[in-house]
Structure 1
Amino acid sequence: MAEINGGDSTATATDDRHAVTLNIEDQTHTTCCCPSVSFIQKLIAEVLGTYFVIFAGCGAVVVNTDKDKVIGLPGISIVWGLVVMVMVYSVGHISGAHFNPAVTIAFASCNRFPLKQVPAYVTSQVLGSTLASGTLRLIFNGTQDHFAGTLPAGSDIQSLVLEFVITFYLMFVISGVATDNRAIGELAGLAVGATVLLNVMFAGAISGASMNPARSLGPAIVSREYRGIWVYMLGPTAGAISGAWVYNIIRFTDKPLREITKSASFLRYASTRNRSK
């Protein structure tokens, strides 16, 4: 969900210069029809990361439904936020911790992720989500079998607009904390997890607060429940792309803040004036 590592050929949370080295490394494998070991490791990290995110988040939803709302919406929100944060810190340095096809597509649209790797990443994310949903279906079967996916509580348009807005918000935060080297990259996981928590808290009761096509598609495949699925394919994808591009518009420079302050003429003038006094 967050691009915090130097493992992708994209911008990193701490130093965008790493992307140059990784671009060169990726190009060395273009003549081979077999994927590199490092790329396979990234895909495995995406499968596992998405699996645990969906298992914990959807598991909270299922337990809450089965046990008379014992967890509640605030509890579900906390679970989603914490599991995203934990998995970002766990495998972010390996795969970038996308866990979300909308995030991967948004990064690719801004040239911050190789377009040719998008299908493999998306497939891995959907696979992880489907496996997690299948595991929950096996654990909670019979009378405990509850749909862990997302369904619009109101109209499809209402949920579509809400999914667009909250995913825009999420991707805007991701772009700020995880791709801008002026931000504090070590806090990327915390910021992204907190954003997920906030979005689930106020949007969960209306649209399910998916923000992630894989999160909705996995349970839908396992339960064969596809009502309103287009909402969760279109809304988050469009929202993520828009959020990434809007942040790129306000990203006026790629220089770190310390370099901006050193080169700012008004700061140099103020410093010179103070020394003269």
Structure 2
Amino acid sequence: MEVSLSRRTTAEFLGTFWLVLGGCGSAVLSSAVPGLGIGFLGVALAFGLAMLTMAYAVGHISGAHFNPAITLGLMVGGRFPARDLLPYILAQVAGAIVAAGTLYAIASGAAGFSVSAGFAANGYGAHSPGGYSLMASLLAEIVLTFGFVMVVLGATDLRAPIGFWPIAIGLALTLVHLIGIPVTNVSVNPARSTGPALFVGGWALSQLWLFWLAPLAGGALAGALYPLLVGARPARAAVAPRSTV
């Protein structure tokens, strides 16, 4: 049965909200607690768990993109209708902004809290956790997004084992963060970057362009390459979780 666009975009809003609240929330609230901090390993796992859990929750409704780079990659790969691209992206960005606002309201309840610490925003150069340059950050975001979207495309292909795709995608997002947190705090998702940047302002907004350009480029590249690598999709009908991916 065809799922309406309004239901699908609502699912994308909720999924992106959960992804940003879970991932960025772990970075802002849990990673630096003295004696209890989860560190960057915990933050990486939190992003993966947020993706995995919400993919199982609403993947059968929207396809569980939660990321404009995934949506674009699927469209380029012929797996998603172009007419729905903008509504999906708007829903994802809105979910990320609301999540960042919710996180800000929670975090500001602690004495001494300030967004000047970064608020899980993505950055390069002086605002890279490891001091990585613009070019290094650009390359990392393109390559990591490319790899991540390739996993999404492969795991949701009709020829892949049924029922396990959220696990593969969640683990892939964890791996991406284990690699890239020192470089840019890891975006691979323009919506995820936009939410915190709006609250940090200043440098975060001035650097936000990279975290749209690089993930979209990496996602589009994966979408173009995957069909060439594996051939045409089988003609049989997709099960519900794969209806849009």
TM-score, normalization: structure 1?
0.76
Aligned equivalents of 1:218, 1:58: Cα separation in 2: 10
1:143 matched to 2:112? The reply is yes
Q: What does the per-residue CA deviation read over 1:203-238, in whole Å, with 9 as the maximum and x for residues that have no partner?
A: 111111211000001111122231321111111100
Q: Structure 2 matches for 1:1-277, cutoff 5 A?
A: 22=2, 38-64=4-30, 66-68=32-34, 70-141=37-108, 143-146=112-115, 147-152=119-124, 153=128, 154-178=132-156, 180-224=157-201, 225-255=204-234
Q: State which structure, 1 or 2, has the greater radius of gyration over its C-alpha atoms.
A: 1
1:198 to partner: Cα distance: 0.6
In the alignment, which residue of structure 1 is the partner of 2:240? Answer: none
2:31–2:40 CA contact under 8 A, matched in 1: no
Deviation at 1:111, TM superposition (A): 2.5
CA distance in 2, matches of 1:145, 1:123: 28
**Per-residue CA distance 1:2-23 (angstroms, 9 max, x = gap):** xxxxx7xxxxxxxxxxxxxx5x
Alignment check: 8 A CA contact 1:151 1:208 kept = yes
Secondary structure of the corresponding residue to residue 226 of structure 1: helix
**In structure 1, C-alpha distance between the alignment counterparts of 2:101 and 2:18, rounded to whole Å:** 12
**What SS does the corresponding residue of 2:164 show, helix, strand or coil?**
helix
Distance in structure 1 (CA, Å) of the matches to 2:182 and 2:40: 8
1:109-145 alpha-carbon deviations (Å, 9 max, x no partner) = 2222111111111110000000000011111115223
Which whole-Å CA distance do the structure 1 matches of 2:175 and 2:214 have between them? 18
C-alpha contact (below 8 Å) 2:120/2:185 kept by paired residues: no
More displaced, 195-204 or 137-146? 137-146
Q: Amino acid of the residue matched to residue 196 of structure 1?
A: L
Higher relative contact order (CA 8 A, sep 6+): 2
- Alignment deviations for residues 154-211 of structure 1 (CA, whole Å, 9 cap, x no partner): 2111111000001000011111111x21101311000000000011012111111211
> Would the alpha carbon gap of residues 65 and 194 (structure 1) be closer, same or farther in structure 2, given more than 3 Å must change?
closer
Gaps in structure 2 of 5+ consecutive residues: 236-245
CA distance in 1 between partners of 2:93 and 2:174 (Å) = 22
Question: 1:93 is aligned with what amino acid?
Answer: H
Residue 148 of structure 1 and its aligned partner are, at CA, apart by 2.0
RMSD over equivalenced CA pairs, Å: 1.7
Equivalent position of 2:239 in the other structure: none
Separation (CA, whole Å) in 2 of partners of 1:113 and 1:254: 13
Q: State the distance in 2 between where 1:227 and 1:75 align.
A: 28
Deviation (angstroms), 1:65: 5.2
- State the shift of 1:66 in Å: 4.8
Which residue type is aligned with residue 123 of structure 2?
A: L
| TM-score normalized with structure 2 length | 0.85
> What percentage of aligned pairs have identical amino acids?
34
Is the 8 Å Cα contact of residues 32 and 38 (structure 2) preserved in structure 1?
Answer: no
Residue of structure 2 in register with 1:272 after alignment: none
Letter in 1 for 2:47: W
The code of the aligned residue for 2:7 comes to Q
**Cα gap change, 1:204 to 1:120, in 2 (>3 Å):** same
